[in-house]
Amino acid sequence: MNPRKIGNLIKTGIALLALAGSATCALAADKVTFLNWITAEPSNAPVMQKLIGDTGVPAEVLSSAWGDMQKAVFLRLRTKQPLDVFQAQERWLPTFAQMPNVVDFNDVYGKEFLEKTFPPEVLVTGQVKGRQVGLPWNVGSISLISNTQVLEKAGVTDAPKTIADFVADLEKVKAAAPQSTPYAMMTKGDDLISSDFQLWLWAFGGSLFDDDDKPVANSEATVKTLEFMKDLVDRGLASLDVDRGAARRMFGQGESAFYFDAPVAKGFAEDFSGQGEAFVQYIHPILTPVEKEGMQSRSMEWGHLLVMLNTEAGQVDGKPSPDSLSARFLTGLAMNDTVQLEYFQKLGAIPVTKSARASDIVTSDKYTVDWNASLGMPKLNELAALKDSASYVGVVSEEVQSALLGKKDAKQAAEDMQSRIEKLLN
């Protein structure tokens, strides 16, 4: 759907919800209405239906395709159909946080309880401006992945800690295999270009927006990031015209040593390598290198969250409560280790609780342990939740490309990125 139409639908949904206050009937709820996209996927539906049943809470399960989820949420609210809990992608959370009857889970379970239950790098995925709007359900990240088979052939045995270390490793790989592209940097596709750029911008200590949501793209960190990315291309350490599909192939076939991807990278690497599960030993997620040691390493938030509305099913004595049907349902899905571990074993979803992550089932899976260690402190894609986000993504990717192609120097590209973002905001 056109991003502008989605934006209009979202604004309409929020406005109608503000007037309606609640989409539930006056009678006490006897079940939870749960909207999600996993049960819309034929291969995953049977497993998810069982896990939902294992919560022990009566639930009416509604299915929607992933691409229609936001529309489905707001249409149900607009037409005043029941909706108590729904699944959300992390990038949608700032939009859903604007709805007046979305529950802050700190008010349901207590902030201290949540902090004891979930690791901080997992909990942050569901936070919007200090509110716990989303309850973690299946959280990973967009992290930097290394091919240790390629690196070992080049004499590299330790993961790079700084960007200088990273470049040195790329140089070694290039020297050992001159025809290789040591880093499969995303240089094709607006979403992918802007994503890789943001990850390196954070590594240099920069950001596109400050804490007050004001654009700060024209910065020294942006200039350094653009110069770094262009230098990689100029020296053949990265190449132009690479998208996620190409990067996955290059990585799996030993043509690249590093690229950014989500946890599903494992399956693609197994397939492209031709070695299947035997190749997993060479797939090593790592912390994104930073400009200087001691700086905070960042990955990009990626995860599935659960959102709860302040409806009859979520209340006890008229207030949100951990003893309500909705909260008990959520506890069963996200905080029951048996359910979490079965979700992991059957569908590969990385568990979110501290206790489930400490289980032998998880700790014996090296890939998952490595992935959890690669998160650093995840940060939300700064462009994904903006109204008409496609326009902002386009601006950032165009200015990055202009620098990579040498059409502008890094300083001019940073200035133009800032002015174009400001124009869109106004």
Task: Look at residue 88 and tell me if it is in a domain.
Answer: yes
Task: Look at residue 378 and tell me if it is in a domain.
Answer: no
> Over 90: is that where the pLDDT of 392 sits?
yes
pLDDT, one tens digit per residue, over 112-121 is: 999 999 999 9
Task: Look at residue 401 and tell me if it is in a domain.
Answer: yes
Task: Look at residue 154 and tell me if it is in a domain.
Answer: yes
For residue 215, CA distances in Å to 75, 167, 317, 318, 420 come to 32, 29, 44, 41, 10
For residue 46, give the amino acid letter.
Answer: P
Please tell me whether the overall predicted TM-score, pTM, comes out greater than 0.85 for this model.
no
Last residue of a domain, one of 351, 373, 395: 373
Average pLDDT for 74-92: 94
Average pLDDT for 20-36: 66
Do 366 and 334 fall within a single domain?
A: yes
Task: Look at residue 129 and tell me if it is in a domain.
Answer: yes
pLDDT, one tens digit per residue, over 221-269 is: 999 999 999 999 999 999 999 999 999 999 999 999 999 999 989 989 9
Task: Look at residue 388 and tell me if it is in a domain.
Answer: yes
pLDDT, position 28? 59
For residue 403, CA distances in Å to 121, 164, 244, 408, 424 come to 33, 21, 21, 5, 21
Beta pairing, strands 283-286 & 59-63: unpaired
> Over 90: is that where the pLDDT of 342 sits?
yes
The 3-state DSSP class for residue 66 equals: helix
* Number of domain units in the chain: 2
Beta bridge partners of 305: 88, 136
Could you tell me the CATH number of the domain that includes residue 77?
A: 3.40.190.10
Last residue of a domain, one of 373, 399, 416: 373
Do 171 and 113 fall within a single domain?
A: no
Helices 220-234 and 389-404, packing angle to 10 deg: 60
Do 76 and 149 fall within a single domain?
A: no
For residue 349, CA distances in Å to 48, 262, 362 come to 11, 12, 11
Do 104 and 190 fall within a single domain?
A: no
Do 153 and 263 fall within a single domain?
A: yes
Do 211 and 269 fall within a single domain?
A: yes
Q: Please say whether the beta carbons of 262 and 302 come within 8 A.
A: yes
Do 132 and 184 fall within a single domain?
A: no
Do 82 and 105 fall within a single domain?
A: yes
Do 287 and 332 fall within a single domain?
A: no
Do 216 and 145 fall within a single domain?
A: yes
pLDDT, one tens digit per residue, over 278-302 is: 999 999 999 999 999 999 999 999 8
Task: Look at residue 152 and tell me if it is in a domain.
Answer: yes
Do 231 and 354 fall within a single domain?
A: no
Length of the chain: 426
Do 369 and 317 fall within a single domain?
A: yes
Range of the domain at 267: 141-299+383-425
